[in-house]
Structure 1
Amino acid sequence: MRIVVVSAGLGVPSSTRLLGDRLAATTAAAAGTTGPAPADVRVIELRDLAVEIAHHLTNGFPGRTLAEAQRAVTQADGLIVVTPVFSASYSGLFKSFFDVLDKDALAGKPVLIAATGGTARHSLVLDHALRPLFSFLRAVVLPTGVYAASEDWGAQGLDARIARAAGELAALALALPAGRPAGAAGGHGTGAHAGAGDEEELTVVPFEEQLAALRPTG
């Protein structure tokens, strides 16, 4: 199972990257208890791609590093996205990266949304900004999002939210065909699109039903 973390943290060290790492490690651990093989985790730091993203927005062509990141996101079995809060929403760098993805790259893909901020008052960013964005991109947004304010680090409640969200991501990513979430297509800028022989019928199954099918019976 391939898990990709997209972190929009700007500082070094970054609390946004730290949250992404903890979510990824917990997801990998959850997948390892039920999956056939250990999860492969890759982290994409958007601050390292800022110049290429800006160039792509102006000329329409991704640089080599950005194109590789786009392919990794498109081919992932599950995605963890983490942004710091700016002006009560996601950062411009975070939004710009998803603006330059192929329009079908996230279709049917499980996405765990997360954010960091200085105060708990910004926790609504998950439902007011991140969830609508990834729903528009036709991703399968997990029911549990994770927000970490400055006072949450080291608090017991954060660990519980991380464990719950990671368990949901591991369960759904393992339930979908490896590397081929329903409706996914080739990455932007590569010219890869599904041909006539590659078409798949998209069946929409409510998330709760998918989780219920994975729970032990009896």
Structure 2
Amino acid sequence: MEKSEKAFLISDSAGLIATMKTLVKKAGYILDVLKDVDEINKKELKGSFNIFFIEGKDGERTIEIFKKISDLKEIEKFMVLILEKKNTKLIRDVAQYGLNDFLLTPIEEEKIDLIFSKALLAKEFGHEPTHAFLIGASDRVSKKAVVVDQLPNILKNVSLEDVLRAKLDGIIERFEKIDGGITDLILSEVEKTILKIALEKTKGNKIKASKILGMNRNTLAKKIKEYKIAVK
């Protein structure tokens, strides 16, 4: 993958800096450490996609850092808040300045991989400054990510598993306290979405759609009725 992405950590904690350097290097990137947002060289960041990891140790200072980065309108960015424990108030406070996701320490290698996957999706499709990524990939990104003719472009840099993880990670977290599995719910939503896409791509032609889906027309008709899909 061509690296036109840059990763930055704004922190003065030696332990966090050492951990993040190791994990980001394993993910295939180089991490630049900054003590303050004022050290950012805007000219150097133009033309690249910039991933900022911001330590949320001091609430007011953290908010100010997010605000300053948000004001850098001329550069593309993806902002991640790092916390020792979940701080809902701080998350909400920085969300208005374009927070994309957050991490809790101790940080696991797979979480860093997931962050870069989400960032690549954001880079591929564009995203508005929003905290929608707190529940995985934003709705805007995920809807585009499953369009059939877009998949080859995504899969050049991100695997299908990464795309699914980016969306399902947050969904499962929201349902983790509910008794009973959510597999059927998720699978039915995935199937419904695939059916809709096939019908959209074939302009409502059920014969062509059934061939794409690998199911007979009667089964397709039954599922269209079951999911109450409007066919144009």
TM-score (norm 1): 0.47
For the pair shown, which has the larger CA radius of gyration, 1 or 2? 2
TM-score (norm 2): 0.45
